Amino acid sequence: MRYTMKFIYSILILVLPLFAGCSQQNDTAHTPELVDVKTTTQEYAFAVHPLHNPTYLFEVFNPLLTYLNSEIPDVHFKLEASRDYASFDEKLKNEAVSFALPNPYQTLMAIDNNYKVIAKMGDDHNFKGIILVRKDSNIKGPKDLKGQAVSYPAPTALAATILPQYFLHHHGLDINKDIENKYVGSQESSIMNVFLGTTVAGATWPPPWKALSDKRPELKDALKVIWETKSLPNNSIVVRKDVPDALALKVQGLLSNLHNTAEGKQILKRMYLSKFEPANNDTYNSVRTFVAEFNDTVRPL
């Protein structure tokens, strides 16, 4: 009996590790592996030029991107803000975003850098420059600005800088010598510089003035629009040429019909806009002519 038990014990010592090995193999075989699942949804960056400061820009335009995402579920649009006009311009020059909403001058830049126009903001009558002064100022005519500081958002802001400077030039001012041009980075800053007395006049365009003065009624009490410029075609929607045509057409159709839906009307209301409309590169031929004249007669861009 003693020898029999020793024999069984010896067999167990030899066999048990084999069972343990089998157990390990089975555990390994049945342990689920973590798989890096990559989404098949294509993401498209949609950049909007600095119409407003970044926080307010997201407040105004993110609902539009949310709407596009809900209507075109197989892709994802991501809103991209820029810290200033120069950084936005670089994105167009480098073809860094798939979709963009540039101003008309930047639209020409986009067309020259592998983008095409598919739509535009409506309300062209609103795409004009306005020049603000304090109601208690002594400014009566453009020539009263001689020797004074005037604020603008940025050198390439068409409605809020280029059109106002063209206006002042054609009303007897050499904008390169007679006044101090202060490019302050945003529409809101241009307005606030006048309100705070840092500049005697400030240029912007109607939607930012309306939006900011609605939020801050004291601006309406202190400031007035003293001059308005002529108007040009409004901001465009451009798409990089490597984006599928079918997707570009979907976006064009959704934007152009936005004003026909209740949700769309609310989105447009935030923008102080009545509608988007179809457009193409030729829509901005008049802007190209105007920019060429500005370059020749006012200052180089």
pLDDT at 245: 97
* Predicted model pTM: 0.83
Structure tokens belonging to residue 118: 């598919």
Structure tokens belonging to residue 90: 């670089």
pLDDT at 53: 81
Strands 42-48 and 149-152: unpaired
Domain definitions of the chain by residue range: 42-124+234-297, 128-231
pLDDT at 39: 54
* Model confidence pLDDT, tens digit, residues 71-85: 999 999 999 999 889
pLDDT at 16: 41
Name the more confident of 111 and 3.
111
pLDDT at 17: 42
At 206, is the pLDDT very low, low, confident or very high (cuts 50, 70, 90)? very high
Tell me which CATH code domain 42-124+234-297 carries: 3.40.190.10
Measure the CA–CA gap between 115 and 109, rounded to whole angstroms: 9
pLDDT at 40: 60
* Model confidence pLDDT, tens digit, residues 212-256: 999 999 999 999 999 999 999 999 999 999 999 999 999 999 999
* Model confidence pLDDT, tens digit, residues 110-146: 999 999 999 999 999 999 999 999 999 999 999 999 9
**Are 206 and 273 within 8 A, CB to CB?**
no
pLDDT at 279: 98
Mean pLDDT (whole number) for 171-193 = 96
What angle is formed at CA 134 by the lines to CA 136 and CA 187, rounded to 5 degrees? 175
Name the more confident of 298 and 85.
298
What three-state secondary structure class fits 134?
A: strand
244: left (phi over 0), alpha (psi -120 to 50) or beta: beta
Q: Find, among 102, 136, 71, the residue nearest to 235 by Cα.
A: 102
42-124+234-297 and 128-231, same CATH topology: yes
Strands 42-48 and 115-121: unpaired
* Model confidence pLDDT, tens digit, residues 18-61: 344 444 444 333 434 443 434 568 999 999 998 888 888 999 99
Structure tokens belonging to residue 125: 């009558």
According to CATH, the topology of domain 128-231 is: D-Maltodextrin-Binding Protein; domain 2 (3.40.190)
pLDDT at 30: 41
